[in-house]
Structure 1
Amino acid sequence: MKMENRTLALLLAGAALSAMATPAIAQDAGSADSEAAAAGADSEEGSAIVVTAQRRSENTLDVPVTVSVLQSEALRDFQAGGADTLLSLSGRVPGLYVESTTGRIFPRFYIRGLGNIDFYLGASQPVSIIQDDVIGEHVVLKSNPAFDIAQVEVLKGPQGSLFGRNTTAGIVKFDTAQPSDTWRGQGSVSYGSYNSINADVGIGGPLNADGSLSFRLSGLYQHRDDWIDNTYTGPSDDGTVPGRNVMGGFTERDARLQILARPSDAVSVRLSGHIRDYDGTASIFYRGSIQRGTNEVPSTFRRGQVAYDEAQNNPQGYNTHGVSLKADVDFGFATLTSITAWEHASGFSRGDTDGGAAANFGGVAPNICAAGCGQSRGRLVGLDQWSQEVRLASPDEGRFKWQVGGIYFDSRDRTEFAQRSFFLTSNVLGTTPNPNNFVRLRNANTSWAAFGQASYELTDSLTFTGGVRLTKDVRNTRLLLSPNFANLTVPTTAPTSSYACGAARVCRLSDTEPSWDASLLWRISPESSVFARYARGFRGPTIQGRSAVFGSAYSTADSEKATSYEVGFKSAPLGERFNFNLAAFYYTVDDIQLNGNDSNGNGVLFNGKQGKGYGIEAEVSARPFRGLQLNAGLSLLHTEINAPGVFAQVGAAGGVVSQTVLDPTIRIGNSFFAAIDGNPFPNAPDYTLNVNARYDLPLGGGDTRLFVSSDFAMQGSTNLVLYRSIEYRSENNFELGGRVGVAFGDYEIAAFVRNATNEVNLVGAIDTSNYRAGIYNDPRIVGVMLSGSFR
């Protein structure tokens, strides 16, 4: 990272912060009422933002939950260069971090440091993703892009009462623009470097004269040309052909149609269908880009150039589609809501996981893979997810409000894994394609739950809210096809793994757990409130079925249970002109689910005794004078694993450790394991900072304006793996973006830049063997953008 670039970015961020004269949590800047917000309308002066964190439309000042909010206008800026619509959220609100080592089809979310680094296709995560009331539980469904968005809410801490299990860290909730009885539309189209295209549009209106039937049609198109060269010219054992500009590109096509019927004032029915068609490139690993003894990017590093001898240049492709039906019936004393949803997905991802040609790293023919070769493919043959929720809720007014309900969830898939020798097409190594490096699994996850929540105004300014949920979670994994099933055995490991199912062909885990929350909110004044919240959630037991591809038994992890305590302050003393919010939190996670490797290099699940985290989050939004808008967010975080006697495998080859490990280690054969007790959680930055600023200057009469805007995001020290090392840690990563242009009423044309200083940030790594392979952020993208809305 160039020091002058870092200094420039810090100066720009500091200027914006100093203008606000206060540090920055929930971005409670004003917006329109709930209907206008749902339609993507601009905010009105002096109004308060409306959130649905408690399954009701409420002023955020009345919600005893830490909620950060992003509006559609901010998303346009982050995604102008064709960035992944989900990964681009990382660091944009305090406490939210998003990364992927498997490309666009597998984003991994972390809230307040709690997440999951497991790259298994059947992995569970402690952050739930919800789009238009439908949960995406499978990791591929979590990757469905967000487009034509009205609002994004990030709910922090366990949300187990109203939203269910597997929310021990929190929820990222996307509300799309909804059908309306008047014509409305919004969108943006941009073009930039590498032929990058981003088009995100939506339009809707009435289908009949009285507006009782309406629609919304939304679409997303993203494209980037391949821009990464494969320079390897030696022999390939699977027929990989190198070349110029053969990787790094993508084409994303998405569409959604919503039909809303309101046959009476008491009944509404919304039918929604969506489809996704994606082709692209899996994550690019750069072997040897992480130098031993330092975490600085080497001066010789060239982003956009690799030497891959295998994996057909990392292809990736996925298709998803789904349908949901939401019905509301108002009986006066209560409203009955039913949400029925079906989701389907299929696709594959293949990658050269060693990140380079083994012959370039000390391999000697004929066994060039003595220095390490690796490629793998994960294929989702088919996934079907069904969910049904029924909820009965009292009206939003009154001193006493309540809601009760139940949910059924059923997800079933067939998943394949294949390793290197399965793909070999030559006899360079004296081998032939090996069917024993292939496995097909059938996974099933079912869940039933009943829940209830009540809120009572003890006084005109003091409100108590409590909720409880009882959930039964069942997971099954069945081995369908593995030629070497007879050799499926429990390997020798360091004391890290659990093998509850042993060498059984079928593995079944089940658990029934309660979740709850209780809070007090004191409305100090019409413009401010304080709250205290105590919550408990759990993440169900999970199975690592991928191990069977190595002839190893499934590994498992028991349910983890999170308990959270937090206090918060929210204020909007000047309406939309100034908002300030602050929260402090502390949580523990009993039986925390972790992921590592055993002594045979196989990925395994295991439980640590406990994890804990604590910190402070702040956000501010200000309009110090007409034309200037400032927003900033800051999080300070400490996390710690409490796991005495638990070890994680570290990268090593030929009995030599490949990095500088800072933890005590033990050796088993040629494998080394590090004690992880006391270490921070992986991918848990010790701080994040985000700053956005925009200034509009009127040009003559009318509503024509010249504007300039900038956004900055920075993260502190971030451990990328379970153990501590000098190499596998990022420090002070940052990105700077901006736009300058002209606005004509509600329409804008601008020039933009993403990653303005062309920073090379280490965002992921493979620490297996001696690969020391890093994953890096996108290069600088420069282009033009047209955006606007009407209503």
Structure 2
Amino acid sequence: MSGLSHVPVQCLLALAVAAALPMAASAQTTGQDADTDAPSATTLDAVQVTAQRRVENVQDVPMAITAISGEKLDVLTSGGEDIRLLSGRLPSLNIESSFGRAFPRFYVRGLGNTDFDLNASQPVSLVYDDVVQENPILKGFPMFDMAQVEMARGPQGTLFGRNSPAGVIKFDSARPEDVFGGYGRLSWGRFNTINAEGAVTGPVADGVSARVSALHQRRDDYVDNVRNGEGEDLEGYRESAVRAQLLVQPSETFEALANVHARKLDGTARLFRASIIEAGSNNLEPAHRREFVSLDGRNEQELDQFGGNLRMRWDFGRTSLYSISGYESVEAYSRGDIDGGSVYTFPPDEPGEALFPAESADGLPDHRQLSQELRLASNEWGRFDWQVGAFWFDESIDVDSFSYDGFGGAENGYATQRQDNTAWAVYASGDFDLTDALTLRGGLRYTDDEKTFTAERVTGPFGPPIAPITVRPSDDDVSWDLSAVYAVSDATNVYTRVAKGFRAPSVQGRLMFADATLPADELVTVADTETVLSVEAGIKTQLWDNRLRLGFALYHYTVDDQQLTAVGGDANVARLVNADKSVGQGAELDLEAWLTDSLLVTLGASYNDTEIQDGDLSVFQCAVCTVSDPADPARPGAVLIDGNSLPQAPRHVYNMTARYGLPLGDGEAFVFTDWAYRSEVNFFLYESVEFTGRSLLEGGLRLGYNWQDGDREVALFGRNITGTERVVGAIDFNNLTGFLNEPRTWGVQFSARF
């Protein structure tokens, strides 16, 4: 991987490993009392993960995995932020959204999808309580009452087959318990932000237990739209979610866990800000103020989601049968002033100025997802264990798009899309202990995927209606993985993994502003199947009398026919394209250590180098910006993107946390800090000065006191404590419009367990 040889982060990672290992080796001789031979320091608990659909120690799994649970999750969610708070908090992970809280887009090792359409597919799969959440709107369901969050990097197509060539993020809710208990957590902070969360669990009958969890988050509007007079108008939200679970265990050989959940969101859509980027640079315009905008359009967002699943297990002794049935539905509507301003001039160079008005809305009036999985797995067969399964998926969605006259007025355009997607798969996976130290693993999955998509423009703001256009892409593919893990010692494993993943064909058909004279295959575009081949090698070790845990991985992947979304540009269209090839390579580090009995530190670091390799691929450039890519002589207004990095793919992602506790009275005083950094990113497929997002560093701080063995806690907290302000995404068809990261917040929180 010669691309790493000149990169400074390699030195950083090498130094981190070099520093950790001698310290750990030295500490192994001093971590116990010489006279009593008893442990004299706090040790790390084993991390159990289910990335291979079995409960395993993370150290034994031959792939890069990061898990977050317990206090770290509580700290990150204390300020009422949505799922995007995980961005940068795990190696190689970036999350962004042009819809705000409703529509997160995930990028792992640089692989993701910038498509903002409501039927967009993503190469990062989100699995919530064992059910895949395919539609991007579903992926925004809040995190609350969680047992653990896991991220498995690299292709996961064998055991998680729904579009997971980049990786899988797995959420597991806390399960019902047969002893009465629960918790409550309430915080209040800046902008009158309230974050209330709680759960109650316990037995309801012999062999039956239940758990009810709830979340309510709200924030007042704090941004003043100066165009309609004084007063805060924007950036507030009200979000509630609930989950009810019933666990039935009539015997040791059968259990059924039923889950019903719902979400309701009412608030502000993404707040676009006209000419917020200084022309000729990627700095914020000096006249910009976070608390003020000038919009002549409306901004609103509503979302209602409901779902349920039933997970059953039958234990037959040597084998167990699992059934996972899932149902999800969501309705959403989001309207925004896309140009982000109220003054129209050329050239626009002051905040609030744009070339022309643009106001639009997207709705998801009807959505339904059904899934069913059956899996048969062996139970400790000795040297060989296996699992086989079948999976079925069916999704139906309707998308409405609206255009308005740009001054908060009448509707002047209406277009529709409908997509039906059916897929099925069969798979098998197994692991074999070749020796006491060497274990081989492998798996195969066959998937068949079919879509029927129809798009129509009923009325258009700039053109005539477009009659319904229907496409029916389909494909089948075989995903596989092969890995080996070797135990160098009781504390150290090395591994290697080769895996192939795929993403089924995708369709894009946003016809609202399209040129009706174009042929049908340019109005509705289809991206062919993409495939990923990834090679990874790494080491996982626990040292210093189990006070330090370290994982380090190197990887390289090649994507053939990568699906890319060419959004915006001065042509104001969105098209799907396939790049001949994209490549990525990098390194990742996970470290956790008790440096003293009172100080726990975690560190994550990653370097991701991505490159598009297609000499003929071009996209339309921005309307007003400084582009560095060469012009495509065959397409006026387009630029060639060969050699560019993938969009929203930072080369560097670092994170760290540190917690120090001090006994005080009958309890403990503590301080907890967390920091996340990502380097600059391209917002679009082309490279330009203005639309290169600057590096982002955000930190959190928590000062608190707990007592009654930690069952009671009060704390002061701050999020984005340095007040860092960055453009994290942009609109390029009109002016230098962008949107910002979350503001600095602070507050107080009380929590209690019972």
Instruction: Report the TM-score, using the length of structure 1 for normalisation.
Output: 0.86
* Deviation string, structure 1 residues 509-568 (Cα, Å, up to 9, x no partner): 000011000000111222121110000010110111223563552111111101100001
Matched, 1:737 2:700: yes
Query: What is the rounded CA distance, in whole Å, between the counterparts of 2:157 and 2:124 in structure 1?
Result: 11
Match of residue 3 from structure 1? none
Query: What is the rounded CA distance, in whole Å, between the counterparts of 1:76 and 1:582 in structure 2?
Result: 26
Query: What is the rounded CA distance, in whole Å, between the counterparts of 1:569 and 1:648 in structure 2?
Result: 41
Maintained 8 Å contact 1:23/1:634: no
Maintained 8 Å contact 1:48/1:576: no
Closer, same or farther: CA 194–481 of 1 in aligned 2, 3 Å: same
3-state secondary structure, aligned to 1:582: strand
Matched, 1:130 2:139: no
Counterpart of 1:581 (choices 527, 530, 551) is 551
Maintained 8 Å contact 2:210/2:247: yes
Cα offset, 1:361, TM superposition? 5.9
Matched, 1:758 2:745: no
Match of residue 536 from structure 2? 566
Maintained 8 Å contact 2:728/2:740: yes
Question: What amino acid is aligned across from residue 404 of structure 1 in structure 2?
Answer: V
Match of residue 25 from structure 2? none
Matched, 1:463 2:436: no
3-state secondary structure, aligned to 2:147: strand
Closer, same or farther: CA 146–286 of 1 in aligned 2, 3 Å: same
Question: What amino acid is aligned across from residue 101 of structure 1 in structure 2?
Answer: S
Cα offset, 1:359, TM superposition? 3.2
Query: What is the rounded CA distance, in whole Å, between the counterparts of 1:104 and 1:440 in structure 2?
Result: 23
Counterpart of 2:283 (choices 286, 296, 312) is 296
Matched, 1:189 2:165: no
Cα offset, 1:333, TM superposition? 1.8
3-state secondary structure, aligned to 2:122: coil
* Deviation string, structure 1 residues 87-123 (Cα, Å, up to 9, x no partner): 0000001111101011111100000010000111110
Maintained 8 Å contact 1:341/1:386: yes
Closer, same or farther: CA 360–663 of 1 in aligned 2, 3 Å: closer
Closer, same or farther: CA 628–425 of 1 in aligned 2, 3 Å: closer
Match of residue 673 from structure 1? 638
Query: What is the rounded CA distance, in whole Å, between the counterparts of 2:310 and 2:374 in structure 1?
Result: 12
Match of residue 430 from structure 2? 454
Instruction: For 1:197-596, list aligned pairs within 5 A.
Output: 197-208=194-205, 210=206, 212-232=207-227, 243-310=230-297, 312=298, 314-359=299-344, 371-396=355-380, 398-421=382-405, 425=409, 433-434=411-412, 437-479=413-455, 482-483=458-459, 505-547=469-511, 550=514, 552=516, 553-574=523-544, 576-596=546-566
Question: What amino acid is aligned across from residue 539 of structure 2 in structure 1?
Answer: F
Match of residue 614 from structure 2? 643
Closer, same or farther: CA 101–599 of 1 in aligned 2, 3 Å: closer
3-state secondary structure, aligned to 1:387: strand
Match of residue 663 from structure 1? 629
* Deviation string, structure 1 residues 409-457 (Cα, Å, up to 9, x no partner): 000011101123498747xxxxxx53xx211222111101000101100
3-state secondary structure, aligned to 2:723: coil
Closer, same or farther: CA 396–299 of 1 in aligned 2, 3 Å: farther
Query: What is the rounded CA distance, in whole Å, between the counterparts of 2:55 and 2:355 in structure 1?
Result: 58
Query: What is the rounded CA distance, in whole Å, between the counterparts of 1:23 and 1:527 in structure 2?
Result: 13
Question: What amino acid is aligned across from residue 226 of structure 2 in structure 1?
Answer: T
Match of residue 80 from structure 2? 82
Percent identical: 39
Cα offset, 1:219, TM superposition? 0.8
Closer, same or farther: CA 562–738 of 1 in aligned 2, 3 Å: same
Maintained 8 Å contact 2:455/2:524: no
**Cα RMSD (Å) of the superposition?**
2.4
Cα offset, 1:481, TM superposition? 6.4
Closer, same or farther: CA 247–422 of 1 in aligned 2, 3 Å: closer
* Deviation string, structure 1 residues 234-281 (Cα, Å, up to 9, x no partner): xxxxxxx56521110001100000000001000000110001111111
Cα offset, 1:203, TM superposition? 2.2
Maintained 8 Å contact 1:548/1:554: no
Query: What is the rounded CA distance, in whole Å, between the counterparts of 2:619 and 2:739 in structure 1?
Result: 21
Query: What is the rounded CA distance, in whole Å, between the counterparts of 1:185 and 1:517 in structure 2?
Result: 41
Matched, 1:47 2:35: no
Match of residue 35 from structure 1? none
* Deviation string, structure 1 residues 627-662 (Cα, Å, up to 9, x no partner): 11101111011000012111121112xxxxx21111
3-state secondary structure, aligned to 1:272: strand
Matched, 1:693 2:658: yes
Question: What amino acid is aligned across from residue 374 of structure 2 in structure 1?
Answer: V
Query: What is the rounded CA distance, in whole Å, between the counterparts of 1:632 and 1:480 in structure 2?
Result: 50
Maintained 8 Å contact 1:20/1:630: no
Cα offset, 1:478, TM superposition? 1.9
Query: What is the rounded CA distance, in whole Å, between the counterparts of 1:606 and 1:65 in structure 2?
Result: 30
Closer, same or farther: CA 442–242 of 1 in aligned 2, 3 Å: farther
3-state secondary structure, aligned to 1:753: strand
Maintained 8 Å contact 2:570/2:732: no
Match of residue 683 from structure 2? 720
Q: Which moved more, 1:103-112 or 1:744-753?
A: 744-753
Cα offset, 1:717, TM superposition? 2.1
3-state secondary structure, aligned to 1:591: strand
Maintained 8 Å contact 1:477/1:507: yes
3-state secondary structure, aligned to 2:500: strand
Query: What is the rounded CA distance, in whole Å, between the counterparts of 1:20 and 1:327 in structure 2?
Result: 46
Maintained 8 Å contact 1:487/1:551: no
Match of residue 7 from structure 1? none
Unaligned runs of 5+ in 1: 1-13, 25-43, 233-240, 427-432, 490-502, 653-657
Closer, same or farther: CA 22–369 of 1 in aligned 2, 3 Å: closer
Query: What is the rounded CA distance, in whole Å, between the counterparts of 1:511 and 1:694 in structure 2?
Result: 50
3-state secondary structure, aligned to 2:656: strand
Query: What is the rounded CA distance, in whole Å, between the counterparts of 2:613 and 2:212 in structure 1?
Result: 49
3-state secondary structure, aligned to 2:73: helix
Closer, same or farther: CA 486–684 of 1 in aligned 2, 3 Å: closer
Query: What is the rounded CA distance, in whole Å, between the counterparts of 2:253 and 2:732 in structure 1?
Result: 58
Instruction: For 1:60-99, list aligned pairs within 5 A.
Output: 60-84=58-82, 86-99=83-96
3-state secondary structure, aligned to 2:420: strand
* Deviation string, structure 1 residues 659-693 (Cα, Å, up to 9, x no partner): 11111024789x62221100001111110111100
Match of residue 674 from structure 2? 711
Maintained 8 Å contact 1:324/1:339: yes
Counterpart of 2:589 (choices 608, 618, 627) is 618
Question: What amino acid is aligned across from residue 218 of structure 1 in structure 2?
Answer: S
Closer, same or farther: CA 57–147 of 1 in aligned 2, 3 Å: same
Question: What amino acid is aligned across from residue 224 of structure 1 in structure 2?
Answer: R
Maintained 8 Å contact 2:571/2:620: no
Query: What is the rounded CA distance, in whole Å, between the counterparts of 1:591 and 1:504 in structure 2?
Result: 28
Closer, same or farther: CA 651–668 of 1 in aligned 2, 3 Å: farther
Closer, same or farther: CA 481–761 of 1 in aligned 2, 3 Å: closer
* Deviation string, structure 1 residues 155-193 (Cα, Å, up to 9, x no partner): 100000000031010011001100111233244321100
Match of residue 603 from structure 1? 574
Aligned length: 709
Query: What is the rounded CA distance, in whole Å, between the counterparts of 1:19 and 1:646 in structure 2?
Result: 40
Cα offset, 1:300, TM superposition? 2.3
